[in-house]
Amino acid sequence: MENMLEVKNLSISFGGLRAVSEFDMNIGKGQLYGLIGPNGAGKTTIFNLLTGVYKPDEGIVKLDGQDITGKKTIDINKAGIARTFQNIRLFSQMSVLDNVKVGLHNHYHYNTLEGILRLPRYRKVEKEMNERAMELLKVFDLEKDAEYLASNLPYGQQRKLEIARALATDPKLLLLDEPAAGMNPNETKELMETISFVREHFNMTILLIEHDMKLVSGICEELTVLNFGKVLAQGPTAEVLNDPQVITAYLGE
């Protein structure tokens, strides 16, 4: 299997604290990969390193064979990584539809003047954007809420909208930062189905951070367990979850 993401020897320090050190990870195309570990282990830091929020001190990140180490966030997004956030970050004062349309921004073009003068191309492109955005919203069962302000959606739907917006950028790799945080068991179950559906439907490679073990063991094929910024265990889900080291460090006896 070809690798979608290759991370080698990734390290970063904040002051004296080595937040992530010598981190290696390979994710195959189409894989659903989990990143777990206790609080403060450096999971979100790794997401921030992968998406260019932080620049690594050392190491290489390759996406689909292309070196993206140290690039800017917007260039990494253009290269094909989209993400969601642990604390939801929607465009709260914009409509649900517009949130997705911002995600489509770099795939549909007309210039400022065409927009202000409402030239035919504006109408044509806007129509295409609306259709595409509604299609994406339909996947997440949000099409009837398209008019609402994003901040008026219930929590679970906000999480879904964030995924829809990330998918609108047409990524190769989707990073989900604790997608099930704050959800009840029913919502989590629904989310698991949605994630599996997204993977099938969009043929997507997904990396997710999660604390909900049911979700992790239910859908992830491979796992990396992180502890104090270092890889504790790596491999197929069932093996990793039975590793005695992982049980002591994270899962508890």
Partner 1 sequence: MKKLKLNKTTKNNLITYGIVILAYIIVEAMLAGGQISSLMKGLLVPLCVYVILAVSLNLVVGILGELSLGHAGFMCVGAFSSAFFSKCTAGMMPDGLRFFLALLIGAAIAALFGLIIGIPVLRLKGDYLAIVTLAFGEIIKNLINVFFIGKDANGFHFSMKDAMSLNMDGGDVIINGPQGITGTPNDSTFTIGVILVLITLVIVLHLINSRDGRAIMSIRDNRIAAESVGINITKYKLMAFIISAALAGVAGVLYAHNLATLTALPKNFGYNQSIMILVFVVLGGIGSTRGSMIAAVVLTLLPELLRGLNDYRMLIYAIVLIVMMLLNWSPKALEMRERYSPKRLLAKRKEAKEAK
Closest to partner 1 by CB, 28 or 70: 70
Residues between 74 and 93 that touch partner 1 (CB under 8 A): 74, 77-78, 82-83, 85, 89-93
Which one of 143, 187, 190, 221 is in contact with partner 1 (CB under 8 A)?
A: 143
Contact of 68 with 62, CB cutoff 8 Å: yes
Position among 27, 98, 191, 225 found at the interface with partner 1 (CB under 8 A): 98
Distance of closest approach, residue 98 Cβ to partner 1, in angstroms: 6
> What are the φ and ψ backbone dihedral angles of 218, each rounded to 5 degrees?
-75, -40
- Only one of the segments 21-29, 55-63, 122-130, 208-216 lies at the binding site for partner 1 (rule: CB under 8 A); that segment is 122-130
CA 55 from chain center: how many Å?
Answer: 18
Query: How far is the C-alpha of 52 from the C-alpha of 181, rounded, in Å?
Result: 23
**Options 49, 50, 97, 173; binder of partner 1; rule CB under 8 A:** 97
Judged by DSSP in three states, 42 sits in coil
Q: Is 115 a binder of partner 1 (CB under 8 A)?
A: yes
| 51 lines the binding site for partner 1 (CB under 8 A) | yes
Q: Classify residue 174 as left (phi > 0), alpha (psi -120 to 50) or beta.
A: beta
159 interacts with partner 1 by CB under 8 A: no
- Which residue of 69, 158, 169, 188 would you call a contact of partner 1, by CB under 8 A? 169
Q: CA 68 to CA 10: how far, in whole Å?
A: 13
Buried b (16+ CB within 10 A) or exposed e, 232-247: bbbeebeebbebeebe
Task: Provide the token pair at 203.
Answer: 């043929």
Binding interface with partner 1 (CB under 8 A): 51, 53, 73-74, 77-78, 82-83, 85, 89-95, 97-98, 101-103, 105-106, 108-110, 112, 115-118, 122, 125-126, 129-130, 134, 143-144, 146-147, 165-166, 168-169
